[in-house]
Chain A
Amino acid sequence: MPFSCLYLSPVATSLIVPTVDRVDDLARCLASVARLRPGFDEVIVVGQGDEGRTREVLARFPDLPVTLLRSEALSLPRARNVGIERARGDCLFFVDDDTELPPGYVAAALDAFKRHPEAVGLTGTAVSAGATASAGEASARTEDAGPRTHHTGCAGVPSGCRRRRPENAPRSGRVRRWAGIGVPERLKHALYALLLVYSWRRNRVLRSGSASFAHGAAAGQPHEAEWLHGCNCVYRRRVFDDGFRFDEDRLGWARDEDVDLSYRVHKRYGRGSLRFEPALSLTHHSGADHADRLESPEAMIRMKVVYRYIFWRLEVYGGSPLNLLCYLWGQPGFVLFHLLNHLRARRRWRILRAAASAYLYLLRRPRAAVEDRAATNRFVLRGAGGRQRGGSLAPAENFAAEADRARPSFLAEIWAFMAVNKKWWLLPIIVVLSLFGVLLWLSSTAVAPFIYPLF
């Protein structure tokens, strides 16, 4: 194969698939990998869950050159990095475990690299399995109205798999609803563009920290990109030889880890180093854990807000007031987007609250949020119950995260106490006691000689 790096190593292409106990998804993915012509020279599955079950799946594909690695920490970026350390190929492919690759996938990537020797990374479309085959509407991305943020809405746990609808219905409800009330796609896009969560420019990283998708007609044409989708991308080996890795401080299903890595790569290697290639298209299924994950939309929303902020602060901000303005301007749109995007109205209130708590967190410690990532993660994952993280988010982590919350005010705590023990008749006494406390407090200040004569 006329591909430069092919000659340097006996292994040209490595596929890295992180997974966590999603055996059916993984089996479907590996089945499609087995059908590839040409195939991968090496397939690395990084398991974070029950090793036995994953092994069973791999046993079904004796012909695939599969290696199974383990990553204990439940972190999608961490799992990918584990794969990177072991991969020997000159091109490292990353897909999620709930994808299905078309037979010409590898060929398309190698062909693109051949045509663009200056490129170090490629991405393509991910057609939602639910989308009708009329992918002529080109990008499956449009299903979600373009803005990059939507697909962050549904990343599967460690697979990092994104954007899927639980019901797998064609053209998910939201778009239909939007269409139903007669909002044209373009207007919608214009609104998001105004709010800086979206751009007509394709696959760009915006000053607000958001990243735009290729969609519509653009999704049918190859073009330069500033970032690559994590569930469908390929990098040349030299990127990792130069020390680039996914950001392991993003835990769980992680957010924006793909934008983070690829944007750093883009900044390092310059324009043209990353490309969007429509031929590099794969099918994306809903992960089996989808319903589980939405059990804790709060953690998801916090993760989106906080990880996005960290990316923006480290890679975009650069001290520029314009960037700060754009970030601030972009956030209401970001929240609005998620509110509208969310499936069940009942959850919207919870989402709003979670977003508010995340912004408060950032407001209180704009610098510490970036510097003390452990504390930030405790905050982000607070309340994310067991299943969301493959059963590993122990109560202890909840406890640790909870400790970082602000102390409740006296009134708030008294109120919560009343709500729990329902002894409402104690309330007047406690109120009187508190007022008396205020009186005593006043009598220990400079007001002391004056308050009592007032009586």
Chain B
Amino acid sequence: MSAILGISAFYHDSAAALVVDGEIVAAAQEERFSRRKHDDSFPAQAIRYCLDEAGIAPEELDYVGFYEKPFLKLERLLETYLATAPRGFRSFLEFAPLWAKRKLHLPREIGRGLPGYRRQIVFAEHHESHAASAFFPSPFDEAAILTLDGVGEWATATYGTGRGNRVELAREVRFPHSLGLLYSAFTWFTGFRVNSGEYKLMGLAPYGTPKYADRIREHLIDLKPDGSFRLDMSYFGYCHGLRMTSNRFHALFGGPPRRPESPIGQREIDIAASIQAVAEEAMLAAARHVHAETGMRNLVLAGGVALNCVGNGRILREGPFDDVWIQPAAGDAGGALGVALLIWHQLLDRPRQARTPDAQRGSLLGPRAADDDVRAFLDGAGAVYEEYADDASLCEAVAGLLADEQVVGWFQGRMEFGPRALGARSILGDARSPVMQSVLNRKIKFRESFRPFAPSVLRERVDEFFEMRPRSNSPYMLFVAPVRESRRIAVDETETAAQGIERLQAPRSDVPAVTHVDYSARVQTVDADQHGRYAALLRAFEAKTGSPVLVNTSFNVRGEPIVCTPEDAWNCFLATDMDVLVLERFVIRKRAQPDADDPPPELSVRRPPGRHPPRRVQTRPASKALLEINRNPSARELRWFGLLLAAFVAVAGGLVHWRLEAPEAARMAWAAGAALTVVYAAVRPWRRFVWLGLSHAAFPIGWIVSHLALAASYFLVLTPIGLAMRPFRRDPLARAPDRSAASHWTARRPVHDVRRYFRQF
């Protein structure tokens, strides 16, 4: 047996994936366990789950891979500081402690998290991990590979080919020129959160007209016909600061960024439409170029930009490729899976057999809850529930509830790996209901009302509702397709007074809850092989109503990760207006609960007592603070502290005596110190207070000193080097727009020495 663990961590979306003998056994994101969205700490709980799933201990792992090369990333960051210094100090203040404490010492950090694993750790390049995660699980023997994201080490976009058990990336676009960061800059500018608000921007786009697209193409990005690009860095702030965009950018788009949570205006809507148009254009152009260069018939995609399902849908429909497969965990979480598969296939040279539909197993790779555990939990929580003996009766009952326009929390089987809920941790509703969209948004998800929902549709009937080929397979909700003309309902925009984002209220098809204002839908196809009980539910719903379409949205509320355990689901159920919760074979109705008449306990999430397994350990978030006071010193630390205290008192007294020649003062100091030390040694309970007292006294000094140290290193070491280098070197970041170049793709330097995979560079 050969067990390979892949890890992605310390940037955003930490995750772990376990590959045993080439099979993807388990993969999960840390946020689901830690309940902190986009958790970037070491994925200790995800790793523990993965190992438990396979029943192995850390020392039984054959290889551990990390999804990127930290030293190359450090090099990129330092080069960026060198190129922008003396600007950038505020960003340096965040960067320095993070790297000095942890990221410079990743093997140590990983080693701590995996006691017992002694071999070397594999470091793959960020985009190599993406490429591996896209190609190896795909159903193709050979395919072109395109990866697009914000930034890894240096590369921001790469393409190449996958053949058999190898991926090879030929060319790349390098930082700071990045399609992902361009999109994120607009996300930031329109008042959403970078790295999570991109979906919102994409959802907002259909409301607007791309009136700024030309401005973007003209000023911000030099987009070549081959899909390569350069950004004009004078419009962006991410190289030297904490802001994504510069004042020049704001001037171009008529004003400062929207404040988060303030109303969304027409400008934001049109900007969203414009950047979406440009992004789609770039994706399509890159896909066409990759097709021409590689001559492959199929394409695989990964990287955060590959979560732009509108662009994906266009590549599929308008692009030159016969088929497109996209890693469902296309973001950084998927890098964990990618590096594990890379080790197995490419580095260990194990053969690969392409599988239909793919080797990702429906991306249902996370933990499951056993029936007995669910029952025990519900009993402990005092819930009133019905238990169904088999799938048929369960699905029959739930289909009936859905047909009554009830909102159902659907918790089944293994949790999804990737950002989408695919029918394992989903909230479901009847797509035919005209009010479902606003009910879900306002009462359940508590999120912006402009965001549409995605349909799950039986695979054999997908072409009846959406402009897709019969029996198209889109199990991961990664392609947006237009709703069939025959299903549409014309909306006369002039008659309705609705403007902007209110336009979504008007039904536009006979599945209005999943039809966006531009008659598009982010389709998930469901079949029995990949989705099991979820397919049975859709079939039962179809039998009852004739409609094979359900609304499928992730089982969470805004700002929280998707639920992981029955307890999470229960808490979410209680905190929202959800009507029904289905935990495996158990159906819980809100109405039937003893306290159903109470208003929904939105604020007081009830923690059920009882016999359910103990709550997962809440790890402390990785602190970004420069200095911290350790409030709970260990006994060992206190012992050492006592010794140091005595020594410190002695030395300080000596200094006073020698320097001030004031024997009285010295004697006083000694006496006080000795008394303190004696008290410290004698009265155990007081130790902690002495510790805390001195810590607090020293903290301001420490704060000043460490900031001075950082300022000194930035302005006295880094800045002079940067300034000295600038006249002598060509721009290492290639920030000059250089619109005359024919292409911005650059060749990648291949690494032949397999030993480099054990290095952090």
Contact = CB atoms under 8 A, between A and B. Distances in A.
A404 B755 CA distance: 11
Interface stretch (A81-89, A131-139, A286-294, A414-422): A414-422
A455 interface: yes
B760 A413 contact: yes
A440 B101 contact: yes
A440 B100 contact: yes
A446 B120 contact: no
A407 B97 contact: no
Given A403-B119, A417-B760, A432 B713 contact: yes
Interface in A418-455: 420-421, 423, 425-426, 428-430, 432-434, 436-437, 439-441, 443-453, 455
Interface stretch (A121-129, A190-198, A299-307, A391-399): A391-399
B638 A446 contact: yes
A421 B73 CA distance: 13
A188 interface: no
Contacts of A444: 628, 630
Nearest to A416: B759
B19 to A, nearest CB: 15
A402 interface: yes
Contact of A437 (B100, B640, B755): B100
A229 B704 CA distance: 75
Interface string A88-116: 00000000000000000000000000000
A298 B420 CA distance: 51
A428 B121 CA distance: 27
A389 to B, nearest CB: 15
Interface stretch (B22-30, B34-42, B693-701): B693-701
A349 interface: no
Contacts of A417: 71, 75, 759-761
A400 interface: yes
Nearest to B706: A439
Contacts of A420: 761
Contact of B717 (A405, A429, A440): A429
A433 B99 contact: yes
A222 to B, nearest CB: 51
Contacts of B718: 429, 432
B78 A403 contact: no
B757 interface: yes
A399 B761 contact: no
B75 A413 contact: no
Chain A interface: which size bin? 35 or more
Given A399-B347, A400-B348, A416-B759, A443 B702 contact: yes
Contacts of B701: 452-453, 455
Contact of B644 (A423, A436, A447): A447
A444 B640 CA distance: 13
A403 B759 CA distance: 11
B754 A398 contact: yes
B676 interface: no
A152 B717 CA distance: 56
B16 to A, nearest CB: 19
A448 B759 contact: no
Nearest to A404: B119
B592 interface: no
A261 B141 CA distance: 48
Nearest to B347: A399
Contact of B104 (A437, A443, A451, A455): A437
Given A440-B101, A446-B641, A448-B698, A425 B758 contact: no
A398 B698 CA distance: 52
Contacts of B75: 417, 421, 423, 426
Interface in B379-427: none
A33 to B, nearest CB: 39
Of A403, A408, A444, most B-chain CB atoms within 10 Å: A403
Nearest to B627: A443
Contacts of A453: 698, 701
Contacts of A425: 82, 721, 725
B697 A395 contact: no
A402 B755 contact: yes
A448 B695 contact: yes
A97 B569 CA distance: 72
A425 B718 CA distance: 9
Interface string B513-530: 000000000000000000
A436 B695 contact: no
A448 B630 CA distance: 9
B698 A450 contact: yes
Give the most central of B637, B648, B702, B757: most A CB within 10 Å. Answer: B702
B412 to A, nearest CB: 39
Contacts of A441: 101
B760 A399 contact: no
B153 to A, nearest CB: 12
Nearest to A427: B721
Contacts of A405: 120, 758
A446 B754 contact: no
Contacts of A434: 100, 104
Given A402-B758, A434-B104, A437-B100, A452 B717 contact: no
Interface string B97-134: 10111001101100100000001111000000000000
B101 to A, nearest CB: 5
A237 to B, nearest CB: 39
B756 to A, nearest CB: 9
B101 A407 contact: no
A393 B66 CA distance: 26
Nearest to A396: B349
A410 to B, nearest CB: 6
B754 A437 contact: no
A436 B713 contact: yes
A93 B691 CA distance: 79
B119 A394 contact: no
Nearest to B694: A449
A407 B106 CA distance: 11
Contact of A403 (B63, B105, B629, B640): B63
B404 to A, nearest CB: 57
B374 interface: no
A428 B63 contact: no
Nearest to B757: A399
A451 B691 CA distance: 14
Interface string B680-724: 000000000001001101100110011001100100011001000
B252 interface: no
A120 B162 CA distance: 58
A446 B706 contact: no
A380 B108 CA distance: 27
B705 A433 contact: no
A407 to B, nearest CB: 5
A452 B705 contact: yes
A396 B348 contact: yes
B633 interface: yes
A446 B348 contact: no
A255 B755 CA distance: 26
Nearest to A383: B755
B74 interface: yes
Q: Most chain-B CB neighbours within 10 Å: which of A395, A428, A430, A436?
A: A436
Contacts of B96: 433, 436
Most buried by B among A394, A414, A449: A449
Given A407-B120, A421-B75, A428-B717, 13 more contacts: A398-B755, A403-B119, A410-B105, A413-B759, A413-B761, A420-B761, A421-B761, A423-B79, A432-B713, A433-B104, A440-B101, A448-B695, A452-B705
Interface of B: 62-63, 71, 74-75, 78-79, 82, 96-97, 99-101, 104-105, 107-108, 111, 119-122, 347-350, 626-630, 633, 637-638, 640-641, 644, 648, 691, 694-695, 697-698, 701-702, 705-706, 709-710, 713, 717-718, 721, 725, 754-755, 757-761
8 contacts: A396-B348, A400-B348, A416-B761, A423-B75, A425-B725, A446-B633, A448-B630, A450-B698
Q: Which 3 A-B pairs have the closest CB atoms?
A: A437-B100, A396-B349, A446-B640
